[in-house]
Amino acid sequence: MSETRHVPVMLQRCLDLLAPALAQPGAIVVDCTLGLGGHSEALLSTFPTARLVALDRDPVALKLSGERLAPFGDRATLVHAVYDELPEVLHRLGIARVQGVLFDLGVSSMQLDEAERGFAYAQDAPLDMRMDQTTGVSAAEVLNTYPPGELVRILRTYGEEKFAKKIVEAVVRERAKEPFTNSARLVELIREALPQAAKRTGGNPAKRTFQALRIEVNGELSVLERAIPAAVGTLAVGGRIAVLSYHSLEDRLVKQVFAEGATSTAPPGLPVVPEQYQPRLKLLTRGAELPTEEEVAENRRAAPARLRGAQRIREDSA
């Protein structure tokens, strides 16, 4: 496995955000999106007394990062799970509370780099896009079987694609002749369906459609909606969570959960706010932090990253 192929995004900033909670002996940190193990390796190296629990739904990622993290022995526990299953995973491991949680959302470098996974629109490959290829429907099945209205909704909502209707009309016309199996044919169809002006801006015209299909295939937003509140719930008081998002839909979800946790729930007009209404989170970032220009120059995949952090400051009221 080449080290050059995976540069963890905003690595130092993530470590800095989590550091105050992980410096204590015996701290437990969860990497909810293990991928190739870049963030996990840095967490284990930087905090030598910390124990790591790392989750990934992709068996290939677990195998590769397992080799990378082998030198840390039993300080690292790797689990095949989707990140909204975090509370169940911790329960099985006999862990009540953790000191740190990290999410690095989106597709891992490995999934993008390996053509046969079908995530990348730049090379021809089977239209799969499942992060765990042992389960669920592929992108080809979504394209070939979903009703047109549903496809339009997916492209508009998950891809923020203005020309969703045009693209779907072309997909429906083409799939009637022959089902979709490969990415090149879809990329070509999108190019032909879009008006000339739309092709001149914003990178590859297929980018938004591929993002939308990937989110649908992996249920990413519904999983995230459950995962972020669940992760906050696993934090001990003083524990910290850092989340890297790569598009506005993910970032909006994270922002909502953090903002809700950092807001008092007291009825208006109380002279003194009782403990049970006090905020349970403190925000650690002002808005979303962005990668530096140097980082984007070194790793173009960092460009859309948005980082938010929060600290647990009190237990839930009974």
Q: Summarize the annotated binding site for S-adenosyl-L-methionine as residue ranges.
A: 37-39, 56, 83, 104, 111
Q: Could you tell me which residues are annotated as the binding site?
A: 37-39, 56, 83, 104, 111
Spatial separation of the C-alpha atoms in residues 115 and 211, rounded to whole Å: 16
Secondary structure (H, E, C), the chain: CCHHHCCCCCHHHHHHHHHHHHCCCCCEEEECCCCCCHHHHHHHHHCCCCEEEEEECCHHHHHHHHHHHHHHHHHEEEEECCHHHHHHHHHHCCCCCEEEEEEECCCCHHHHHCHHHCCCCCCCCECCCCCCCCCCCCHHHHHHHCCHHHHHHHHHHHHCCCCHHHHHHHHHHHHHHCCCCEHHHHHHHHHHHCCHHHHCCCCCCCHHHHHHHHHHHHCHHHHHHHHHHHHHHHEEEEEEEEEEECCHHHHHHHHHHHHHHCCCCCCCCCCCCCHHHCCCEEECCCCCECCCHHHHHHCHHHCCCEEEEEEECCCCCC
Spatial separation of the C-alpha atoms in residues 115 and 111, rounded to whole Å: 8
